[in-house]
């Protein structure tokens, strides 16, 4: 089964300094298995804020190995419904986070994320989170 990778996991993988978490190990395994999925808004989030043109080009080139999985209009509508539902329950999130949840539900793919907001979303949304195999 394919897995949607959230921005925070990709971003950690591209940082050079420091040790990496089990999430990055899991990402590497998913890449080796051909199961890591990227959507356009996550690609944009990864690339936003990279100050060095050289680093931007390096990350963009690395990401080019992962074609964006197409997101149909119905998935964006579902993301808006998820946003509205969670907001009505007092839970806030970004448009991209709710789009990731909608993709997860629509495609039946779990999400690999370090973002604890997804645990809150999971109280109201039927999206599945993937825990790293090696902690």
d(CA 25, CA 46): 18
Are 132 and 24 in contact by the 8 Å Cβ rule? The answer is: no
Percentage of the residues of the chain whose pLDDT score is greater than 70: 96
Q: What whole-number distance in Å separates Cα of residue 41 and Cα of residue 68?
A: 9
> What's the mean pLDDT in 78-92?
98
pTM of the model: 0.94
Architecture of domain 3-121: 3-Layer(aba) Sandwich (3.40)
Using one digit for the tens of pLDDT, what is the confidence trace for 21-69?
899 999 999 999 999 999 999 999 999 989 999 999 999 999 999 999 9
Q: How far apart are CA 61 and CA 56, in angstroms?
A: 8
**Residue 111's beta-bridge partner residues?**
4, 129
What pLDDT, on a 0 to 100 scale, did the predictor assign at position 135?
60
């Amino acid at each position: 089964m394919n897995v949607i990778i959230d921005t925070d996991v990709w971003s950690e993988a591209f940082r050079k300094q420091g040790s990496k978490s089990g999430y990055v190990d899991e990402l590497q395994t998913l890449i080796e298995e051909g199961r890591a999925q990227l959507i356009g808004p996550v690609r944009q989030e990864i690339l936003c804020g990279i100050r060095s043109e050289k680093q931007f080009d390096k990350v963009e080139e690395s990401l080019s190995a992962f074609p964006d999985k197409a997101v149909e209009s119905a998935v964006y509508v579902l993301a808006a419904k998820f946003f509205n539902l969670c907001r009505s329950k007092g839970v806030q999130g970004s448009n991209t986070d709710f789009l990731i949840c909608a993709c997860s539900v629509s495609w039946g793919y779990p999400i690999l994320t370090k973002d604890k907001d997804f645990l809150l979303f999971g109280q109201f949304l039927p999206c599945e989170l993937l825990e790293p195999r090696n902690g």
